[in-house]
Structure 1
């Protein structure tokens, strides 16, 4: 299954309700699993991003729909990207013109 990385930034609402973060992580895990994916890890960070999620999902559309639904709750803004594993890199490079 493809790997994805999401960078999360808390909104003002998300910061005000930060103590609810464990429940939000659990809800995110449930949403990913309900759509055929797996939350590998959720990291709280102290950088330009407030948190980083590493997950696996069936496809880009699944990740986009979960990210949009989650952001719509008002606690985060998110940036998603597809991540290629070390094992996938040769396949990517083999398709270069």
Structure 2
């Protein structure tokens, strides 16, 4: 399954209701499962408030998830498509 990294920052709405962040995270995990995926969440210090690793069956499924998440108004995301080491090995094996 494709992997994605999401770098998230709370919006003003999200930080005002920060006490709800764990509940919102559980809702996001449920949505990821509904779309056939898996969501892991880490709360972080530094440039980003949250970092997530997401597995989804397709780019389309991830895009649906990301748009749904953004529409909640609590976070802004930067998304990265990611490849595990095993897949990267296959990619570079095909280089000339």
Residue 74 of structure 1 aligns to a residue whose secondary structure is coil
Residue 88 of structure 1 aligns to a residue whose secondary structure is helix
CA distance, structure 1, for counterparts of residue 58 and residue 86 of structure 2: 18
User: Cα RMSD between the aligned structures?
Assistant: 1.1
Aligned residues: 96
CA distance, structure 1, for counterparts of residue 22 and residue 77 of structure 2: 18
Residue 46 of structure 2 aligns to a residue whose secondary structure is coil
More helix by share: 2
Structure 1 runs of 4+ aligned residues shifted over 2 Å read 94-97
Q: What 5-or-longer segments of structure 2 have no aligned partner? A: none
Q: What 5-or-longer segments of structure 1 have no aligned partner? A: none
Q: Report the equivalent of 2:90.
A: 91
Q: Report the equivalent of 1:10.
A: 10
Q: Report the equivalent of 1:68.
A: 67
**CA offset digits 1:35-86 (Å, max 9, x no partner):** 00011x2000111111001121001111111111111111000111111101
- Are 1:25 and 2:35 matched, yes or no? no
Q: Report the equivalent of 1:50.
A: 49
TM-score (norm 1): 0.92
Residue 36 of structure 1 aligns to a residue whose secondary structure is coil
